[in-house]
Structure 1
Amino acid sequence: MRKQFLPFAFLLCLAFPSHGLAEDKGPGFLQPGIHADWREIRLGVLAYDRGFFSTDDFSGAVINGEFLFNSPEFLDRIGSPRPYIGFDAAIADDPVHFIYTGLNWDFHLFGRLYLSTSVGGAITTAENLHDPSTYKAMGCRALFHLGAAIGYDVGERWTLQAYADHFSNAGLCSSENNGAEATGVRIGYRF
Structure 2
Amino acid sequence: MNRAVTFLLSTLAFTAGTAQADILSEARLGVMQENICVLDCDNADKEPGQNISAELLFASPDFLDLIWSPKPYVMGSLNTQGDTSFGGFGLHWSFQFADKWAFEPSFGYVVHDGELASPFPQGDPQGDAFTEEHVLFGSRDLFRTTFGLHYDINETWGTELIYEHLSHGQVLGNGRNQGIDNIGLRVSYTFDD
Decide which of 123, 129, 146 is 2:116's aligned counterpart: 129
* Residue aligning to 1:42: 28
Alignment partner of 2:187: what SS?
Answer: strand
Given the superposition, is the C-alpha separation of residues 48 and 66 from structure 1 closer, same or farther in structure 2, using an over 3 Å criterion?
same
Amino acid at match of 2:94: D
Aligned residue for 2:85?
Answer: 97
Report if the CA contact (8 A) 1:49-1:57 is conserved: yes
TM superposition shift of 1:77: 1.3
**Richer in helix (by share):** 2
Find runs of 4+ consecutive structure 1 residues off by over 4 angstroms: none
Q: CA RMSD in A?
A: 1.6
Post-superposition offset of 1:168:
0.3
TM-score, scaled to structure 2: 0.75
Partner of 1:109: 97
Long gaps (5+) in structure 2: 1-22, 119-129
TM-score (norm 1): 0.75
Between the aligned partners of 1:91 and 1:166, the Cα distance in structure 2 is 18
With over 3 angstroms needed to count, the CA separation of the structure-2 counterparts of 1:190 and 1:109, relative to structure 1, is: same
**Per-residue CA distance 1:4-59 (angstroms, 9 max, x = gap):** xxxxxxxxxxxxxxxxxxxxxxxxxxxxxxxxx97000000111111534522131
Q: Distance in 1 between matches of 2:33 and 2:70?
A: 27
Amino acid at match of 2:187: I
Which of 70, 83, 87 in structure 1 is aligned with 2:72? 83
Structure-1 separation of matches of 2:38 and 2:152: 24
The within-5 A match list for 1:33-72 is 39-50=25-36, 52-53=38-39, 55=41, 56-58=44-46, 59-72=48-61
Cα contact 2:24–2:56 (8 A) shared by 1: no
Paired residue secondary structure (2:95): strand
| Whole-angstrom distance in 1 between the partners of 2:66 and 2:170 | 30
Q: Is the 8 A contact 2:148 2:163 kept in 1?
A: yes
Q: Would the alpha carbon gap of residues 54 and 88 (structure 1) be closer, same or farther in structure 2, given more than 3 Å must change?
A: farther
